[in-house]
Amino acid sequence: MVNDNNSAGINSIIRRLFECNALKFGQFKLKSGIESPVYIDLRIIISQPDLMIDLCQQYVPLMKQCRFDQICGVPYTALTMATYLSAQFHYPMLMRRKEMKQHGTKQTLEGVFQQGNRVLIIEDLISSGSSILETALALRQAGLIVTDAIVFIDREQGGIQNLRHPDIDIKVHSCISFSELINYLKNEGHITDEKSTEVLKWINSNHCAIPVALHNQLSLITRPSSWKSYEDRARLCQNPLGKRLFELMKSKQSNLCVSADLTNCESILKLADLAGPHIVMLKTHVDIIDDFSMDFARRLRDLARNHNFILFEDRKFADIGFTVQKQYTGGLFRLSEWTDLINAHILPGPAIIDALRQEAVASSLKDGQARGCLLISHLSSEGNLVPADYAQEAYKMAIKNPDFIVGFISQTKVSADPAFIHMTPGVKIGNEKGDQLGQQYTTPEDAVQNKGADLIIVGRGIISKLNSSREEFETNIILYKKRGYDAYINLCQ
């Protein structure tokens, strides 16, 4: 999409593309045999280095919105663009061969990569989406994760929607749409009103589908995590706590975590007992409890064992390694002794994970219980200052520590790796969009289907009913459980 900041730049690029005949109007026979009143050929920009540079610069703001480790251009036109972007901005590149090499290694991908790396596809324009899909197939078959692609022009012939198909699930970002391009050329007097109407009409009535043969190859590719069952995902977890969580979700048919944001021990124990059969996790903020004692911690742990749920202390560690070790093991709360799961910010750097892991391992050795940690990749509060690349950095740290990092506290999908769990707070049924202090709410369905949540975290939506009748409390919590779980199951089908 054109935005105010770069529209001047993009308008000059369109004018120059028109002047150098990269945008042609007339009657053209396309590869498919169809007659088209417009022909776009961005290949010729390799002969116009200044135009090439300016055009590639348009990709940069969109790249900043995507999470990736490497880029790959769709051969051949976008290969040159990807090469420029890689060299200029230091993004490691991969090259996909269009034809299989007949000698030597016979590989179709050139460059260094590791399975699980995220690759951003760079393409010049999209019509049906087939070219992007072919490249995505090759990358996914090699164990790489592809979730996003960037094109310069969206021809608005259905390609973006085609690639949103659940079997494909690639989000395509475009610098400019075809109608914006045509409107600019018309407004600047490069084409007549009649031509513009004719071309836009042609585009609207010529949507393209992905060829069936290509569609049939889809079963070869790795599907994103949401299609894997809980059992499959449990098998993929290296961390025993993550494994246990997926198994619990399956056996309790629940992806609900209740946030026990209450200030006295008895009410938290009452909540744990009432909610226990319906949840897979109970989350605490122990520093808001007035009468905390280790006896309370022991009783809560007994309830967690009896009802089979995980205890998560939402401590959001964010200090140097030396300090977080003491915060985790010591003080009044001695969290490492009784909690299964904790969470941390990545701001202090990777040592925070090493520090917490050391203590978690020591505690597990004592009591035989698995422990894990979540990384915070997003916050739900309005106006939060979490930077756009925070999630990508969290992901990079997570993949280096799969034995300890169970997943993310997120607001969008951070990783397509099915072993990582995404837990999303800020969930409430009803019309409330938020509270008076910046919290922003969404529904269980939106959290699961649009925000990538595997598990929903609900606080006030559930604890507000703690002092109602038991029946009312149960009806409400069962509603949350059912809506969260059904949303997940619908996504898997």
Residues at the site binding ligand S5P, with contacts judged by CB under 6 A: 259, 261, 285, 314, 379-380, 409, 425-426, 439, 457-461
Contact (CB, 8 A) for 327 and 345 = no
Cα three-residue angle 225-230-234, rounded to 5 degrees: 90
Contact (CB, 8 A) for 304 and 332 = no
- Minimum CB distance to ligand S5P, residue 174 (Å): 30
- Minimum CB distance to ligand S5P, residue 465 (Å): 12
Please report where in the chains the tokens 């026979």 appear, as a residue. Answer: 29
Q: DSSP assignment, residue 340?
A: S
- Minimum CB distance to ligand S5P, residue 403 (Å): 23
CA distance 379 to 226: 22
Strands 35-40, 23-29: parallel, antiparallel or unpaired by DSSP? Answer: antiparallel
CA distance 129 to 207: 11
Cα three-residue angle 319-320-322, rounded to 5 degrees: 120
Q: DSSP assignment, residue 145?
A: B
Q: Which residue is nearest to ligand S5P (CB)?
A: 459
Catalytically active residues, by annotation: 316
- Minimum CB distance to ligand S5P, residue 158 (Å): 36
The tokens for 52 are: 């090439």
CA distance 187 to 206: 24
Strands (E), 160-278: 171-177, 256-259
- Minimum CB distance to ligand S5P, residue 425 (Å): 3
Backbone angles phi, psi at 30, to 5 degrees: -85, 170
Residue 414's SS3 state is coil
- Minimum CB distance to ligand S5P, residue 396 (Å): 20
Report the half-sphere exposure of 375 (CA within 13 A, side-chain side): 31
CA distance 66 to 394: 14
- Minimum CB distance to ligand S5P, residue 261 (Å): 5
Which of residues 409 and 448 has its CB atom nearest to ligand S5P in the complex? Answer: 409
CA distance 461 to 259: 9
Residue 149's SS3 state is strand
